[in-house]
Amino acid sequence: MIPLPTTYWTTAEGPLGPLLLTADPDGALTSLSVPGQKGGRTVLDGWRRDPGPFRAAEEQLAAYFAGELKEFRLDLRSDGTEFRERVWAALDSVPYGATTTYGEIAARIGASRAAVRAVGGAIGANPLLVLRPCHRVIGADGSLTGYAGGLDRKVRLLTLEGALGG
């Protein structure tokens, strides 16, 4: 049996609670989870705690939460189906301070209107909260629909970015 590659992890304090960050052996970030996140990661046996691969991410997250950084420049690596990867790439193109809808994301990737529910599922499965801005996706009627990290955190992030009055 081939051993799985090492997963590195650390936690970083932030206004959303302690953030769990994971990275692959190359140092690419593979997840960012918040406490109580639906589908969030938890530390597994065999993972190696090492803050080294996360210094840039911690600096950029601190600057983002301080309102000083609008775009992350980090090596991100996610592992999803081809459909999910297309949805996540579309999320990456939603600019700071802007919002989009599930239907707009579906259109951006060339999916039909009927695929909006699948797009929502892919957005909900985003393993890189905050870094890949799924919090910028809202309902077609402007409602703040689901967020795996909790609607209170979604409101905080959108307020920080100036997309909501606060």
Please give the positions annotated as active site. 134
Cβ atoms 75, 34 nearer than 8 A: no
Is residue 70 classed exposed, middle or buried when 0-12, 13-18 and 19+ CB atoms within 10 A define those classes? exposed
d(Cα 73, Cα 57) in Å, to the nearest integer? 9
Alpha-carbon distance 96 to 115, whole Å? 25
